[in-house]
Structure 1
Amino acid sequence: MQLLRILIPTFRNLRDLDIAFATHSQPTTSATDVPPKPIRSHALIGQNGTGKSNLIEALITIFRDVDLDRDAAFDFTLEYSIRGHVVRIEADTFKQKRPYVWVDGKVESQGYLLKNRELLPAHIFAYYSGRNERIEVLFQEHQRRFNQRQEITTDEVLSEQLLENFTGSESDIRAVEEAKRRHESRLKQAGDDRLRRLFYCRGGHSQLVLLACLLSDDPVFQKVLKNLHIESLESALFVLKEPYRLREKRRSGKFDEQELNEGDPRFWYARGNVVSEFLDKLWQVAWAPIEQEATKQIDFRGRNEKQKQLYLFVPSQEKLKLLGELIGSTDSFFRYAEGAYIGDLIDEVRITVKKRDEHGGKVSFTHLSEGELQMLTVLGLMRITREDQCLFLLDEPDTHLNPIWKLRYFDDIEGVLSSDDATMVQSESQIIITTHDPMMVGSLKREQVYILRRDGNRTLVDIPDEHPQGMGVTGLLKSELFGLSSTLDIETERRLFRRNELFVLSPRSPEENEELSRLSAELADLGFSTADFRDPDYAMFVRKMAQHRRFRKPVLTLEEQAEQDAIADSIIDEILREEDGE
């Protein structure tokens, strides 16, 4: 999966957006035998309000509407490559509601993509460091259909009552055929993916990701745990609750006979694969299941409700491994556990782990830092959903990370998506990250970075002139990527401007001489010596640059940066010409 180009005339604050994504980075060496390296990680940067998060939302909306066979929500053109094909989707809502589709240049339809789902990303995975209800709502329909599929069982095709009363008559044959059609219709509506195509990472996923890492021998999972200094599981208490939909049925007495026959009374008559493939196995390995009714606060207003709860205690790493073996694989464990979480059956998992640090001992999951949880969740989920041809959309995933983790973030991502498995295609999932942190982009090539900015009523996208690699944080902040005129604090910068202004002033009054001496002494204590002014060339440069007062502000636009650079170059050329003339 590789995005090639996206054009959006209008979406929220995006106007005339046009991004052509680079697919390969050119080698820095001049050797002709070094092939270009595929690019699968891109960073979107830009000031607040330039539309970075809106671009993430637009991409999710496009694929959501295609996957649900809906009308286009706005005009766009999206082109991407996948499994050796090039797909172009173009929406012009003035001409028709459904988008136009081309596959390898041949005109097709949105329905064609749904029939040939290998032409769509295996998963669109989205993460936002915080709460973003506008993004969350885009995933609700896929979540609803996922829940619906969990409860569809084979017995619903031909119920026991239908089979017991089957006489072979024409009416009974029609009843069987009708039951099959209803079942197939429900399956089609629910969707075919065991892990839904659109996946939004929520807070509760971090607990399940940690358990998946702990029960797996995958070296990538083990590396994630090592980075967090986690050695093994001490214990896990699964707190299950009666789902709202089943609680309402129980209270109103609306359970039908089929639901009572197929449902599991241990889990409030819930049914489907989540119960049979996960909760039943969890019951087998857990110690002493305990039932209780608890009063829970359900919102920030302090409103409470009574919930029937079930405690299932997994006492050790060995028991967790056994649970994984009973379910079949790490991926299956996560899918079924996540199904129980999304299906409102898991309220929380209280995890205690053993940590490798100077203190050692046991640490509760709730004591992990926000940064640790952020790295665990993102990298763990990327590994679990590492199927070929995925699109990962990460909106500011670096919020709580320390500088070391930020600097190696893209390297960690590459490690998570790589595999020693020769059957897996390595470079065909794409990651798009929005960020405001220069440390996040310090390891990237220029082809991987896109700078969003406003130009009147248009959204412009620029690629840096230089590679961010090797520039350092200060260089990045003062470059076109972030546009700071200086990395100094405003007060120190003000004093430097004033000192230089007084230095080039001639003649100076006694008060101005006294102010210059005072500022020079203060700045010398901070490491800004006036010794450089003894160099006549440098002194001349300062005098001439000091005349351009319009550049004395914290942030410069790209045009102002270019103009300042041009003026500086012209001053240097003038100084060199004067020296040559001498």
Structure 2
Amino acid sequence: MRLKSVWISEYKNLRDFTLTFDGDSFLDIFVGKNGTGKSNFFEALVEIFNFVFASTKRRSEISFDFDLFYEIDGDDVRVCCEGGQLQVNGANRSKIADALTPDNVIIYYSGHSDKITSTVDQYSRAYARRNRKWTGEEAREFISIGAEYKEMLLSILLMQPDDCAARRYICQKLGIEVTSETVTLRLSPPRFKHSDVEVGDVASFLWGAKGQSLVFVERLLNCVRGEFTRDSIYDRGQDRYTIRINLELFREEFAEASSSDLFRQFDNLKTLGMFEGLSIPIGLGDGRPILVGDFSDGQFQSIYIFAITEFFKDRNCITLLDEPDSFLHPEWQFSFLKQVEDIAATEAAQTNHVLLSSHSASTIVEANEPQIRLFEIADGNVSAVQRDKAAVVQSLSAGLITFSEREARLNIYHNLKNTNGPVLMVEGVTDEIIFETAWRKLYGAEVNRPFEILSAFSCTTLGRLMRSNEFYHDNQGRTIFALYDWDEAYNEWNMNHSQVVQNDVSRCLVKKRNGVDGYNLMLPVSEEHSCYGQVVNAATGEHYKSKSSFPMELLFRDAPGVGAHFEIDPTRPGDCQRFKGDKATFAKEIVPGLPPVAFEPARPVFDFILHTIGQ
């Protein structure tokens, strides 16, 4: 199962919107700022597939026109609805054949969408009406995974064989292990009309259930170890069945059943209103017991994700994961995509097309795909364009994606693991680009740079890292330099437990942290620079500390041909200059075209680093 293209006439801010899916990867990733239309696109897909599923049973309606093209079991299917007329593979139809539709559309929505909720609720009510006999013969097509699935998902995962990838990852990430061979299933009366349970009356067992639901529960009874009767597992006072399933017997009984089959069986019980709970005793690595409610939202978010990819990897389905990594601990985000791919990227998994939206730069950094779809708004219209992954991540400073501080710190740790030797850390991505260019201009592209240059994505993150004993402990043997602009970043430069080792604005103010090879540098500003007065008081010779105004771009204010990128700052006295325009464009397109002499203001930074590391 794979989407090939979708066209939407008009849905919220999506107007005449077309998205084509190229390649054969089971996972497509979308990024973009809030309000660009990622979630609206997911909502529109839910509306479209709700229409498609409903159209297998009756003539249906939808509030916008669409053209949906997908492949299922090797056959191309085109479903189009324009002006109220349904077409299937080019022919007018009133209904759609079941064989031409996905088995499931699975929805995971980390935020809150009233539209998705109402659409899925509408589908669920219609499903319930069709199943008033509550035999459970019809499996649900729409499945929305939320908090009410917590206990079920975790328990079913832990009931899988030990070599199940999803089970292994969950146990590892949560630091848990199963502490009992008994799984407890609790069943309550169904929401539909049913019989009362009478002692000794076989026909009233399970409130008179029939069909698939009864067959499944009877198979579960085969997994109970020891003597019991159907009456002994029923509590008349609470009107509840409690079935204690032995894990070894369960795995034998359902050895031929896939994890997706098991999930659908339990989900049918839930849909009928009979499922009250499924619990398996678990403990931490030290043996202490832990309850489901003890896990954080972020920890359970990983359970949702891994359960979805495991339980539906062999079904013809579309899986919509809207920001599934939003609550994941940053340490998990780097390995998130690899784990999902390990679970789902099998031959059978090609039947499951996963669409994932994300704001997590940590996740995107680790994506295998060289191209990422970026939702953009131009002239009031939304489009989804292909962008190089590197370009998307590098555009962070332009606000395309927002790094949280924890994500930024983790990204730095990740990059440091893949490098060695001294490192210069700068505040932002554009600063990194500028100083890489400055080295090439001043020393030549053929000269090896004996240190790395990395972005910390903010001066706050940079300052906290340079004050962190743990950071130095994790990078023993490396000399760390941090470079700050002349503005509020001065407060980050001015760290405690350090000594000033160079007190010259034109050569870099430098502080060394006590006991470690960590150096904080302020951007050098020479007395000849036209903006020197924005840093140093000419009357006193003292600098303005955090009241200064000299960001990285001002290094080039005196270079020829760049005047259009600067303007007088009306918020400050004395005709102070400030940068105007796009930082990324300036760093990537303007700075590389400047002559080597324009980079001389940056040389003191390199001089200090080279002297310190003995080069």
TM-score by length of 2: 0.64
Q: Say if 1:207 and 1:349, in contact at 8 Å, map to a contact too.
A: yes
Match of 1:50 among 26, 29, 36: 36
Cα deviation for residue 125 of structure 1 reads 1.1
Cα deviation for residue 507 of structure 1 reads 8.0
Call closer, same or farther: CA 1:364–1:60 in 2, change over 3 Å. same
Match of 1:573 among 567, 576, 593: 593
Deviation digits for residues 46-96 of structure 1, max 9, x if unmatched?
Answer: 222222111111111112111211223311222223333333333222xxx
Q: Would you say 1:68 and 2:54 are equivalent positions?
A: yes
Q: Say if 1:289 and 1:313, in contact at 8 Å, map to a contact too.
A: yes
Query: What is the aligned residue count?
Result: 472
Gaps of 5+ in 2: 404-427, 430-456, 462-483, 491-521, 572-579, 600-615
Cα deviation for residue 278 of structure 1 reads 1.9
Mapping of residues 150-549 of structure 1, within 5 Å: 152=133, 194-217=138-161, 219-227=164-172, 228-232=174-178, 234=180, 235-246=182-193, 264-278=203-217, 281-282=220-221, 285=224, 289-291=233-235, 308-314=238-244, 317-318=247-248, 320-321=250-251, 324=254, 330-355=259-284, 357=285, 359-419=286-346, 424-444=347-367, 448-464=371-387, 466-468=388-390, 475=394, 477-478=396-397, 481-482=400-401, 487-488=457-458, 495=487, 504-505=529-530, 508=533, 512-513=537-538, 517-519=542-544, 540=559, 547=566
Distance in 2 between the 1:127 and 1:22 partners? 23
Query: What amino acid is the match of 2:107?
Result: A
Q: Say if 1:231 and 1:354, in contact at 8 Å, map to a contact too.
A: yes
Distance in 2 between the 1:280 and 1:140 partners? 31
Distance in 2 between the 1:9 and 1:501 partners? 55
Q: Say if 2:8 and 2:15, in contact at 8 Å, map to a contact too.
A: yes
Q: Which structure is higher in helix share?
A: 1
Aligned to 1:89: 79
Call closer, same or farther: CA 1:354–1:545 in 2, change over 3 Å. farther
Query: What amino acid is the match of 2:207?
Result: W
Deviation digits for residues 497-519 of structure 1, max 9, x if unmatched?
Answer: 99989975468499844799434
DSSP-derived class of the 1:518 partner: coil
Distance in 2 between the 1:267 and 1:516 partners? 88
Higher relative contact order (CA 8 A, sep 6+): 1
Distance in 1 between the 2:40 and 2:561 partners? 43
DSSP-derived class of the 2:302 partner: helix
Mapping of residues 118-133 of structure 1, within 5 Å: 119-129=100-110, 131-133=112-114
Aligned to 2:3: 3
Distance in 1 between the 2:486 and 2:546 partners? 15
Call closer, same or farther: CA 1:574–1:196 in 2, change over 3 Å. same
Q: Say if 2:372 and 2:389, in contact at 8 Å, map to a contact too.
A: no
Cα deviation for residue 348 of structure 1 reads 2.6
Call closer, same or farther: CA 1:516–1:393 in 2, change over 3 Å. farther
DSSP-derived class of the 2:4 partner: strand
Aligned to 1:555: none
DSSP-derived class of the 2:376 partner: strand
Deviation digits for residues 455-491 of structure 1, max 9, x if unmatched?
Answer: 3431132322x3339x8x6x45236743897632699
TM-score by length of 1: 0.67
Q: Say if 2:30 and 2:38, in contact at 8 Å, map to a contact too.
A: yes
Call closer, same or farther: CA 1:328–1:576 in 2, change over 3 Å. closer
Query: What amino acid is the match of 1:86?
Result: D
Percent identity (aligned): 18
Deviation digits for residues 330-377 of structure 1, max 9, x if unmatched?
Answer: 44332221111121112233432144x2x2243222223323322222
Distance in 2 between the 1:510 and 1:203 partners? 54
Q: Say if 1:442 and 1:476, in contact at 8 Å, map to a contact too.
A: no
Query: What amino acid is the match of 2:110?
Result: S
Distance in 1 between the 2:365 and 2:282 partners? 34
Call closer, same or farther: CA 1:122–1:284 in 2, change over 3 Å. closer
